[in-house]
Structure 1
């Protein structure tokens, strides 16, 4: 977006949302951070207010900030980040909302505002464990129904807990604990006597 367009969007966001959103601009993109308590009302305003008119939700994803900033970050752990598009005004916006409770991350569902959020919120639930309050069909979308845990969380074990495979003797899919034998990997170093010289 051009600088004039960004300034116009910033001005519109400030006048319509006021204190309900913290507006920042970085790398030519506008981002607002909204409190979880104000999230649903702000999203409704972003869609319906004629000065903003964000008709389309392009994307929504979960984020785990557990190890953000190499461990120096001390804020809430889970967030939902949405990207909105206004076809009317030809501008885009990123909206970030943090779940207030790290142990039980709950954020309001925006499916009643943008139906496109349905599968995005299911994906964030499946992969990060973020619960979207008011979602009418919040169930796993990518992992198996019996899957334990949320694989995109930073504290999820790299190898997982169980593996699934087809057992030809039992003629069905079975689950068994992951069996990965640790091994030491030593890099092979090749030295050349005259490397880097002419």
Structure 2
């Protein structure tokens, strides 16, 4: 399919178009640094995305990125909203415009939102990655399983409370002739710089 070239839509114009299309399904729409971000509730997420894909003036035919976010340490821990969010970046090739959609998971203990794979096939691996790294469950995904970590991996490594050294490690056991899992044997240590700048001497000293 060939689309005629078009100039980029002004962010304020796009904001008004999206506001009209979504109505009360848009919880909030912001324009910052020339980019439009719409926040929707988990209940309205799938239908809002369908509207953004199909409505004239929107026509976001492509999902170009999707990721999870853990806000638990946002602004030095001052954040008091829901912990997990899913951020989706959409592109309209035909209208030369982009938009960011943010949806917060209503439950911090079991973060769940709808899958948008029925709308955009490209969401498949992105949602699997967000599930793997953040533990966000995408309801309706046909094959939601880990994609980056091992099948026996414990936890979700992009969560802010996940330990830097992890929980378990794996190695090949020559006696059992297979890979085994065991508790992490690396002990945490404090790293101290070997070189300390001595301003009063105008140089460096070890």
TM-score class, shorter-chain normalisation, is over 0.9
Rate the CA distance shift 1:87–1:4 in 2: closer, same or farther, 3 A. Answer: closer
**1:10 aligned onto 2:15:** yes
Deviation at 1:186, TM superposition (A): 3.1
Can you give the 5+ residue segments of structure 2 that lack an aligned partner in the other structure? 1-6
CA root-mean-square deviation: 1.7
**Deviation string, structure 1 residues 83-107 (Cα, Å, up to 9, x no partner):** 0000111000000000000001000
Runs of 4+ in 1 over 4 A off after TM superposition: none
CA distance in 2, matches of 1:136, 1:118: 9
Contact 2:9 2:95 (C-alpha < 8 Å) held by counterparts: no
Matches for 1:14-25 after TM superposition, within 5 Å = 14-21=19-26, 22-25=28-31
**1:148 aligned onto 2:154:** yes
Deviation at 1:184, TM superposition (A): 3.9
TM-score by length of 2: 0.89
- 2:129 equivalent in structure 1: 123
- 1:111 equivalent in structure 2: 117
- 1:97 equivalent in structure 2: 103
Q: How many aligned residue pairs are there?
A: 195
TM-score by length of 1: 0.93
Can you give the 5+ residue segments of structure 1 that lack an aligned partner in the other structure? none
